């Protein structure tokens, strides 16, 4: 995928972010995702030694052309677009200098494909690997949908449950201002009955990315 974004920040902590990416949902005519978010970030001083950074906001996910290409078979609503509210706490130097521990939660009252309510809980951790210049990172998330039919709409699989877990373990390295990252990502969703293309977002696999911040 090709991705890019811009973030406009104010000294108060308020920000507006725009992000875009190419996507492939096996839905002809839907190949672009464009997101816009409004948020606020600042430091929450809990004590003299504990002052995590908090980030709260709302984000709208847009998929150009999806209204005419997708219909939810359970409620007749069209399109993939949805809006989500989020909050995250990040604790710097949580275990030792240079690391970061984050906990986050997101909520949508009408998730992707009009699949009804959705909750997402995530824990992430990153830390430098000695003095190598590499940073190790890991995260795990719990995705809770309204019911089995909702998961069927979102994942396209057998709809055996109303929730699933996602995970990521990886390493990154900054090369002349470009961050190269290699991750192992996956979920515990059963891909039985899915096409090979449909399995890709959920089976365990390797993801390599290059990121440049200007």
Rounded to whole angstroms, how far apart are CA atoms 190 and 188? 6
The Cα–Cα gap between 191 and 52 comes to 38
Calpha distance 6→16 (Å, rounded):
8
200 Cβ neighbours under 8 A, 6+ residues apart: none
Q: Please work out, in degrees rounded to the nearest 5, the angle formed at the alpha carbon of residue 145 by the alpha carbons of 68 and 148.
A: 85
- Prediction pTM value: 0.86
Tens of pLDDT, residue by residue, the chain (214 residues):
788 899 999 999 999 999 999 877 666 667 788 999 999 999 999 888 889 999 999 999 998 878 767 777 667 777 888 999 999 999 999 988 999 999 999 999 999 888 889 999 999 999 999 999 999 999 999 999 888 777 777 776 555 678 899 999 999 999 999 999 999 999 988 777 666 666 777 788 999 999 988 7
Q: What is the per-residue pLDDT across 112-165, written as a single tens digit (0 to 9) for each?
A: 888 889 999 999 999 999 999 999 999 999 999 888 777 777 776 555 678 899
């Amino acid at each position: 995928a090709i991705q890019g974004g811009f973030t406009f920040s104010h000294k108060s902590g308020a920000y507006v972010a725009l992000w875009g990416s190419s996507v492939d949902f096996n839905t002809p005519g839907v190949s672009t995702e464009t997101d816009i978010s409004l948020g606020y970030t600042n430091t929450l001083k809990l004590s003299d030694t504990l002052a995590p950074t908090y980030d709260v906001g709302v984000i709208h996910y847009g998929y150009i052309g999806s209204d005419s290409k997708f219909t939810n078979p359970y409620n007749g609503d069209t399109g993939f677009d949805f809006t989500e509210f989020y909050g995250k706490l990040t604790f710097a130097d949580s275990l030792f200098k240079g690391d970061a521990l984050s906990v986050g939660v997101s909520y949508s009252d009408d998730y992707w494909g009009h699949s009804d309510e959705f909750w997402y809980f995530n824990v992430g951790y990153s830390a430098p690997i000695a003095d190598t210049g590499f940073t190790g990172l890991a995260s795990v998330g719990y995705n809770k949908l309204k019911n089995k039919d909702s998961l069927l709409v979102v994942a396209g699989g057998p709809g055996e449950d109303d929730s699933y877990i996602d995970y990521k373990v990886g390493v990154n390295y900054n090369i002349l201002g470009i961050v190269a990252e290699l991750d192992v990502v996956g979920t515990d969703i059963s891909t039985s009955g899915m096409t090979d293309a449909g399995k890709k977002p959920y089976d365990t696999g390797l993801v390599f990315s290059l990121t440049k911040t200007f």
